[in-house]
Structure 1
Amino acid sequence: MWYDKWNDIGPLSNHISLRVITRSGFSLVDSVADLIDESTWRWPTAWLDLFPVLIHYKVPNINPMQNNVVVWCTSDGTEAEFLASSVWDSIRSKGGEVDWVNIVWFSKCPDSHDHLFFECPFSALVWSLVQNMAELHGVPNKLTENVYRLYPISKGNSTKSIIGRLVFAATSYYVWQERNARMFGNVTRPPEILKNIILDSVRLKLASLKFKGSDNTRRLIEKWKLPQCLMLES
């Protein structure tokens, strides 16, 4: 609701601060439908004076039988399914078709972001193997839901917040790297190996940081087998 461009004007977060949103009793993961009550916006009437741009946000017609989808807006303004192939086709420098085109793009290739992060069996297993170390218990295998679950901690500087974000970023990076290695290099690695690579990468980054001293920080440092000198004295 607040961060998506579901209106041509742009995301509401461009005009309303997170503090105002939460102080008004709304959640940062609200959907557009959550803010509609009998074809009327649920936000306070006072917001129209504080944020006049809201006048231009018309209440959309929502079909409750249709699921939300992520779309890609091409350079000519056309909305298309969000696929790596369609994004690449919009941003690349176009040339003549080459002989090996069908090696890279083919109809049986499930190359959507939702599939890759983390709905396919391989990436879902990798994600499940690293969640415990990040203490991201119960986070689903869907990209958009992962982002919604992680957003509330994305601004924080707690040890758990930093670890959660690093694990998510590293998992996304190495799953994408694995996808490319399989497609272009015919090289595969089992999930357990990828898990170790991800955790070692995060551990190396954590070892370059300093953390405020607390019982929770001490517990996480021990869990990740990091030196205690990384923890600052209270």
Structure 2
Amino acid sequence: MLGLRQLLRDYIWINVGNGMRTFAWFDKWDDICPIARMITPRMIANAGFSMTSKLAEVCEHGEWLWPDVWTERYPTLAQLQSVILDQTRQDRLEWKTSSGQSVEFNTATAWDAIRFRQNEVPWAKLLWFPQAIPRHSFLMWLLVQKKLKTQDIISRWNSSGNANFNLMCCSLCSSCPDSDDHLFFECSYSKEVWNGVKGKAGMADISEEWNSIFQYLLGISASDIAKHVITKIVVSASAYFVWEERNRRLYSSKKRKSSILVEVILSTVRLKLHSMRLKKSSSTVQVLQEWALPRGLLVADDDRG
């Protein structure tokens, strides 16, 4: 937390009132503050001030009381806005965004200010949407980013040359080393899983190749139509449980048939759908029938929360 002070201090401002609580040299009360970045302790002392001087001690009737030579030496000081102290109210802390807007402080605001930012990727809404299951979305994020520790990636880590990576094989089908493309869903086992769920996802005509699946998902990623939301949930759940089964077989003797895994995936999705509220329409009614869900999940458009 202490290491974040330098990142946070530019967002913590003083809304100046009477100037009695604002440290003239160290607090942020103007865009160029803190002044201590320019003025040295020796200069402060030579001008008759102290390191703890308040703003009210260095400003009088909107005029600065420090030597003119400071402005000559540091022209930036001339950009300071005139401060008219208001004796009727005290100074108070406030949080300012990078756009200069004063907002109420909370941890979400602070995180949004200091986090590393990039442009939104086109597949963002494919992973992160209100109805998503978080752990499934995280696995999908790893998959899309090619960050899963599959055997083809692990084989590249052979720095010593002693390991025999030729002995690696997919724990699901034992035919070849696993990889993103193999596991999702070209492996004979995961292909059976995919063929068991893709009809429910409205993707009956989509092959088991990950690139084909991903391209289809990109086309519906921003859609909030019920069947498209369900498609994203089904694919994420399928990837999650195939990866889980892969790890289960690597680190234990437990195995599940592909038909069992299909039922686990569909049951998980069905349970998630029970917590959703769907806009009433003919297509949504059909979705309820396909998933054997109660009509009580249907609501009018203006009743959805």
Matches within 5 A, 1:28-177: 84-85=150-151, 87=153, 106-109=167-170, 110-177=177-244
- In structure 2, relative to structure 1, the CA distance for the partners of 1:185 and 1:127 (3 Å cut) is same
The one-letter code sitting in structure 2 at the alignment partner of 1:213 is K
Distance 1:209 1:17 in 2: 25
Distance 1:212 1:72 in 2: 35
Is 1:187 matched with 2:224?
no
Distance 2:265 2:120 in 1: 37
The one-letter code sitting in structure 1 at the alignment partner of 2:264 is I
How far 1:106 sits from its partner (Å)? Answer: 3.6
The one-letter code sitting in structure 1 at the alignment partner of 2:222 is K
Distance 1:71 1:16 in 2: 11
How far 1:124 sits from its partner (Å)? Answer: 0.3
Max Rg structure = 2
Aligned to 1:220: 287
- In structure 2, relative to structure 1, the CA distance for the partners of 1:106 and 1:15 (3 Å cut) is same
How far 1:222 sits from its partner (Å)? Answer: 1.5
The one-letter code sitting in structure 2 at the alignment partner of 1:156 is S
Is the CA contact 1:72–1:87 (under 8 Å) kept in the aligned structure 2?
no
Is the CA contact 1:212–1:233 (under 8 Å) kept in the aligned structure 2?
yes
What TM-score do you get using the length of structure 2 for normalisation?
A: 0.45
The one-letter code sitting in structure 2 at the alignment partner of 1:161 is H
What TM-score do you get using the length of structure 1 for normalisation?
A: 0.57
Per-residue deviation, residues 128-155 of structure 1 (Å, max 9, x unmatched): 0111111211111111211001111111
Distance 1:172 1:227 in 2: 27
Structure 2 counterpart SS, 1:223: helix
- In structure 2, relative to structure 1, the CA distance for the partners of 1:17 and 1:227 (3 Å cut) is closer
Distance 1:187 1:213 in 2: 43
How far 1:120 sits from its partner (Å)? Answer: 0.7
Is 1:197 matched with 2:261?
no
Structure 2 counterpart SS, 1:132: coil
Aligned to 1:61: none
Aligned to 2:99: none
Residue ranges of structure 1 left out of the alignment (5+ in a row)? 1-13, 19-69, 74-81
Distance 2:191 2:242 in 1: 10
Aligned to 2:133: none
Is the CA contact 1:210–1:230 (under 8 Å) kept in the aligned structure 2?
yes
- In structure 2, relative to structure 1, the CA distance for the partners of 1:132 and 1:233 (3 Å cut) is same
Distance 1:229 1:71 in 2: 38
How far 1:71 sits from its partner (Å)? Answer: 10
How far 1:108 sits from its partner (Å)? Answer: 3.8
How far 1:17 sits from its partner (Å)? Answer: 8.8
- In structure 2, relative to structure 1, the CA distance for the partners of 1:122 and 1:86 (3 Å cut) is closer
Distance 2:193 2:270 in 1: 17
- In structure 2, relative to structure 1, the CA distance for the partners of 1:117 and 1:16 (3 Å cut) is closer
Higher relative contact order (CA 8 A, sep 6+): 2
How far 1:180 sits from its partner (Å)? Answer: 0.7
Residue ranges of structure 2 left out of the alignment (5+ in a row)? 1-118, 124-143, 171-176
Is the CA contact 1:83–1:111 (under 8 Å) kept in the aligned structure 2?
no
